[in-house]
Chains A and B, each alone.
Chain A
Amino acid sequence: MTILRKIAVGYSVVAALSVVMVAWLGYHEFVEEPAEYAAKGLPDLHQDTAPEASAVIFCGLVPVLLGCGWWWLHRVLVPLRTLTRAVEELDTHNLHQPIPRTLNGDEVDKLTAGFNTMTARLDRSFQQIREFTLQASHELKTPLTVMRGQLDGALRDGDALPPDQRQWMESQLGEIERLGKIVDSLTLLTRADAGALTLQHQPTELGELVREAVEDAQILAQSAGITVTLDPCQDVQVNGDRHRLRQLLLILTDNAVKYNWSGGFIRFALRNAAGNAELRVTNSGVGVAAGSPDRVFERFVRGENAQAKVEGSGLGLSIAKSIVTAHGGTIEFESEHGKETRLTVRLPATTKPHETSGGQLPEGAI
């Protein structure tokens, strides 16, 4: 039972008891007493007032009082509802924004103040973790650079090295490279978390970038016999960072190729829908079992089918989501287990809907 309901019930019980009491008093005053007086032959003291008028006043007053009470209750609970909404909207990105206070010193205001202090403390901890990650990434780069450079140098003048030693060094080099990539991805994600992903915004024709991504997808998918189509490809402009948007498209393309079947398909579709550039990438493949679709955006989480077979860091979709969010858009993952997977990206568009071209790329285009 909500507080509102509890108070309302209490209030109604009190109101109902009052009505009963008033009714009884009224009955006693206007009906019993005059009858008693009349029986005793005494003059009726209420003769100058009409009993009907009093009854109307009493009866009318009750709903008015009830209404006022209801309105007052609602008013008192408004700050509580505001607080609830604000708390619901809180996440790691907006912890630094305090919830507005009424400053009237009531209980809810004090609760808000306490809550703001708590989120400020939390925000400081998150901030410290981010700063630590960035600092750590940077500190890791120097030893990585030295390790890579020295191994590289040794391999360059290591023509006389025994083959197994050479192989071992090359494998080390590969691992150092991988470590470097993970550190880079972590830096990017940490920046994005702090809302400090610096974007070079400029009007960008998304269609052009998508067409190029599709051409790359066709090249990458060819050896696996995967069919790649683009339909439709509506002209739509977004205000975005070209490099990050290319990175986003590459992540989507690469995933669609990697988590596919040989002989499968990838369907790209770019639409201008309700002021948004809506890009869909659908691919055949095992997909993700029900229950975990949203987890694909979490860091280092990979589909169970991906664990063994496909090479990757498990950071691709996290980066994709960060890029989309930094552009004020949304990304959605749907998967029909054992059949297909679809990623839908919506980015705020800057032009009106206007379809120009579509369809499968001509065969000669590649």
Chain B
Amino acid sequence: MRILVVEDDKKTASFIAKALKEEGFVVDILADGDEALAAIKATTFDAVILDIMLMGRDGLSVVRQLRAGANRTPVLLVSARGEVNEKVEGLNAGADDYLPKPFALDELIARVRALLRRGGPAGNPTLRLANLTLDTTTLVALRGDRKIELSAREFRLLEYLMRSAGRVCSRAMILEKVWDYDFDPGTNLIDVYIGKLREKIDTRTDAKLLHSVRGVGYTMKEPL
């Protein structure tokens, strides 16, 4: 997997590259928007991490140019501008995800991995993981033969985690997808919900499906 990091601050670029390399990615670094645009057009990258404020052409303009040229390389925008609707602006320009600075490395990696899995079968109405089944049309959840009662929010949370099964979902990603929040609520809301969900699906069994990932968030996976 080859990833391009476009970032004009050398130190930032270097710690991002180091962490990605440790995760087994091949990493290229560029600092200039125009050079980045040319590189993405010329080489096939699996994903691009793109800063908005750059030398030369800015990140938003790079994405617009790429999408105008029908280039679908997954793009994760990062930005230090910290404006509330920059995310909307970025996604409208054609980016796949947006992460405000400063960010946790695990958060960045979780998002990059989510980008790489993008385009998988998302339309399947029945989700399965081990003996847990979630029917998104009838809103019924079953663990084996046992029916699980879920509130609307718990159902959406479980659906999101099951659709992302096998990869880490950070708290911020869960907040965005399930709560529709684009800000950090500064509460332990998710952890409380996860606790309730875990009680409903993982008690009375040793085959746990829902796991915490320290400092990042949660993941669902088949028991070993």
Contact = CB atoms under 8 A, between A and B. Distances in A.
Interface of A: 137-138, 141-142, 144-150, 152-153, 156-157, 176-177, 180-181, 183-184, 187-188, 191, 197-200, 212, 215-216, 219-220, 222-223, 242-244, 246-247, 250, 254, 312, 364-366
A148 B11 CA distance: 11
A215 B102 contact: no
A85 B158 CA distance: 58
Interface in B70-114: 80-85, 88, 100-106
A137 B105 CA distance: 21
- Label chain A's interface by main secondary structure: helix
A183 B165 CA distance: 34
B interface, size bucket: 35 or more
A324 to B, nearest CB: 15
Contact of A156 (B83, B100, B105, B183): B105
B182 interface: yes
A219 B193 contact: yes
B173 to A, nearest CB: 16
B180 A220 contact: no
B18 interface: yes
B82 A187 contact: yes
Contacts, number: 112
A181 B184 contact: yes
B22 A156 contact: yes
Contacts of B196: 219
13 contacts: A146-B9, A148-B102, A149-B11, A149-B19, A149-B103, A153-B105, A156-B105, A177-B102, A184-B100, A219-B193, A220-B187, A244-B84, A254-B186
B168 to A, nearest CB: 14
A27 to B, nearest CB: 83
Contacts of A250: 181, 185, 187
Contacts of A153: 15, 18-19, 105
Nearest to A180: B102
A246 B181 contact: yes
Nearest to B9: A142
B12 interface: yes
B18 to A, nearest CB: 6
